Structures are given as C-alpha cells and as structure tokens.
Amino acid sequence: MQPSIAARIMIPASPEGSADVPADVLIVEDDPIIAIDFEDRLLGFGVTSVRTVGSVAQALNTITARAPDFALLDVELIREKSFAIAERLVALKIPFVFVTGYGAETSIPAQFAARPRLQKPCSSDALEAALQARGA
C-alpha cells in the first residue's frame, strides 16, 4: 500500500538528519511567526533539533545548558541586541549567522563585521546555504 501524498510530504529526506547540516540549531528571534518559519524550514533541511528563544538571557542560559551546533541570531531583539550571545558563541567556537530585517544600516560591532548575515525575509536557498556553510 502506497502512503498518502500528505504522508510522503511529511517524511524527512533523512530521518537522522543530513550530513551537511548541523543536528542542533538555536534560533534567537523575538518574533514568534518568524521563529516558527525558521524552525519549519530548518527541520525541512534535515536539522534534527531546533530550539527557539526570544531574549539574550534565555539564549545564554540555553547555551550553558546545552551548546548548539549552530545558531541564527536576530540582531535586534526587544530592547536589546544579540551581541553578548555572539561573544559567547565565538568563545565556544560555535558557528552562527546574524539575521536582520534592517539591512546595511544595522550597526554590527567591528569584531563581528566579517560574520555572515541574512536579510529578513530570507529565501530558503539563502538559509540553507548559511546552514551548510556553518557561518564560515
């Protein structure tokens, strides 16, 4: 018996995750709709664990509890910026990408100027490429 179309669509290409994407990704995003969109797309790329937080404190606690393999950092969170998270990730040698809806005018500190950025809204192709490049 052949599975329904819906069942075939929902089956990930590789249940154990894809070798070219990190297994565990942390999303730091204060907009729940954007966070859900990123989560859905990451899972579709083969990421096996996606954790989402909306503040610097939550992100730092999450990283301390279990460091991710990769992170997406929204630059502008509610009343704060994500640079303290970036500093922690650099210290732990965890790759990450900044995500911003503000474009080139977003002020990024000099020590992070060479870090990759995704412009919101980003295409699935751009997100997948950033994930596969691991923020390099």
Tens digits of residue pLDDT in 40-73: 999 999 999 999 999 999 999 999 999 999 999 9
DSSP type of residue 110: G
pLDDT band for position 9 (50/70/90)? very low
pLDDT on residue 34: 95
- For residue 22, pLDDT over 90 is answered with yes
pLDDT on residue 10: 38
* CATH number of domain containing 31: 3.40.50.2300
Q: How many domains does the chain have?
A: 1
Rounded CA gap, 7 and 54, in Å? 32
pLDDT on residue 42: 97
Pick 117 or 9 by higher pLDDT. 117
